[in-house]
């Protein structure tokens, strides 16, 4: 039996000796910072401004209504943008909940349900998946379809986020 313990330890030491030194050493904080920094910068990059488009009252007839978010890039350079739809609750009364409405986006000829975030009475579409590069002097028109499932008051406020 003692022979097995010695052989087992010898095999473990041989296996450790065969591993490269990089596997056995802890990464330095500087190396981790360099590798993570570009990803962290992309994840938290905030828009530099917003272009607000005309607001309309939240429809209350339980039918689907089309919303067009249109933006033209007036600059000579390509620009990263993200269309967004805000559904704003009134200052008084109950707040809108994501279950009160159904918002869909037209992509590839098909309507796809858009998940809504909620903060302080405002429902909103996520900017991350909507980001795209709009070429110089080109126009984007993104179509959404909004159906109010539970009667509520509010405002539909489409806008476009502009990135630096």
Q: 4-36, pLDDT tens digit by residue?
A: 444 344 433 343 344 444 333 333 333 333 332
Element at 68 (helix H, strand E): strand 64-72
% of the chain exceeding 90 in pLDDT: 63
Tokens of 148: 């109010």
d(CA 155, CA 70): 18
Q: What is the DSSP letter of 130?
A: G
pTM reported for the whole predicted model: 0.71
pLDDT at 117 over 50: yes
pLDDT at 41 over 70: no
Weakest-pLDDT range from 37-46, 71-80, 140-149: 37-46
Other beta carbons within 10 angstroms of residue 47's beta carbon come to 17
């Amino acid at each position: 039996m003692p022979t097995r313990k010695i052989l087992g330890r010898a095999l473990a030491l041989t296996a450790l000796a065969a591993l490269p030194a990089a596997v056995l050493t802890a990464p330095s904080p500087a190396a981790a910072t360099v590798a993570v920094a570009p990803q962290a910068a992309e994840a938290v990059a905030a828009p530099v401004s917003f272009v607000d488009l005309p607001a309309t009252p939240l429809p209350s007839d339980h039918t689907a209504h089309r919303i067009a978010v249109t933006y033209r890039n007036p600059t000579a350079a390509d620009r990263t943008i993200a269309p967004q739809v805000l559904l704003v609750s009134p200052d008084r009364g109950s707040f809108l909940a994501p279950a009160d409405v159904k918002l869909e986006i037209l992509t590839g000829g098909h309507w796809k349900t858009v998940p809504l975030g909620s903060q302080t009475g405002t429902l909103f579409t996520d900017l991350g998946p909507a980001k795209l590069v709009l070429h110089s002097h080109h126009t984007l028109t993104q179509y959404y379809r909004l159906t109010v499932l539970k009667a509520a008051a509010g405002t539909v406020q489409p806008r476009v986020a502009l990135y630096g």
